[in-house]
Amino acid sequence: MNVLIVYAHPEPSSLNGALKDFSVKRLEAAGHAVRVSDLYAMQWKAVVDPNDSSEHVPGTPFNVSAESARALRNGTQSEDIAAEQEKLKWADAVIFQFPLWWFSMPAIMKGWVDRVYAYGFAYGVGEHSDKRWGDRYGEGSLAGKRAMLIVTTGGWEPHYSARGINGPIDDLLFPIQHGMLFYPGFDVLPPFLVYRTGRMDEAKFSQACDALGRRLDELWSTRPIPYRRQNAGDYDIPECTLKDDVAPGATGFGAHVAR
């Protein structure tokens, strides 16, 4: 199978770098083809701007989604964007690896999402009408592919627990896992998390690699998070709210996971 690792850390000799190298070796040893988008090494351009298409006319207003759609349609996207879209098409599974900075991904990876997720590629896909609100949340260009986060944080696991002050890690990652991965069609696997990175030693690193190795070995058999598909009957369209008889009374992120 083909695995793409989208990786964001500025220091190759970091824990993140070591975990990324471990993943590449483990996956290749299992016979998979692996490609890595090392965003810092690529000096990935993080910021959406008119240079993302060769068609923008200087001095005219820049409409982000309209120009994104036109550039995708006409093949005038900048080369770095088109190359990442090709990698996504090639991949059977995509791993996004990053340190949790301010409860989200580093800016360089957010800029990968902002730029690679073109209109017509990751959003604005399919019919939008009173009866159907696009091919998204379980359908879309990336349907049939798997995605998984590998996330490191200096904080303690209890800080990210159900009653921890940072908020539960599953909820903090919902905008990414549900909003950026399930939205364009990925089946999203539970994340692989490493806490208290400041206290990492050889024994803990070895444990983390063992656990990560098992997750990589099970990449094709792990059950995805059972997010509800938008167009499979659970939601009223076009309001995109849960029907009254689906998880009655439940609200919040958890209501969109079929238990």
User: Binding string, 188-227, against its own copies, x = CB under 8 A?
Assistant: ----------------------------------------
50 binds its own copies (CB under 8 A): yes
The CA distance from 127 to 138, in Å, is 15
22 binds its own copies (CB under 8 A): no
The CA distance from 169 to 151, in Å, is 10
Please, which residue, 16 or 23, has the CB nearer to its own copies? 16
Q: Which of 31, 58, 75, 102 binds its own copies (CB under 8 A)?
A: 102
Of residues 125 through 184, those in contact with its own copies by CB under 8 A are 137, 154, 156, 158-159, 161-168, 171-172, 174-176, 178-180
Within its chain, how far is the Cα of 147 from the centroid? 7
Please, which residue, 22 or 62, has the CB nearer to its own copies? 62
Q: Which of 82, 107, 200, 257 binds its own copies (CB under 8 A)?
A: 107
The CA distance from 28 to 171, in Å, is 32
Contacts of 185 (CB under 8 A, 6+ apart): 135, 136, 138, 139, 140, 141, 142, 143, 144, 145
- Binding residues for its own copies, rule CB under 8 A, total 65
Span interacting with its own copies, options 77-85, 199-207, 217-225, 244-252, rule CB under 8 A: 244-252
Tokens, residue 2: 């083909």
239 binds its own copies (CB under 8 A): yes
- Nearest distance from residue 116's CB to its own copies, in Å? 11
Cβ-contact 171, 255 below 8 angstroms: no
Q: Which of 11, 130, 201, 210 binds its own copies (CB under 8 A)?
A: 11
Q: What is the dihedral of CA 57, 58, 64, 69, to 10 degrees?
A: 20
**Among 124, 134, 147, 120, residue whose Cα is nearest residue 231:** 134
The CA distance from 35 to 56, in Å, is 31
Cβ-contact 177, 224 below 8 angstroms: no
42 binds its own copies (CB under 8 A): no
Residues that bind its own copies (CB under 8 A): 10-11, 13-14, 40, 46-50, 61-65, 99, 101-108, 110-111, 113-114, 117, 137, 154, 156, 158-159, 161-168, 171-172, 174-176, 178-180, 228, 230, 235, 238-242, 250-256
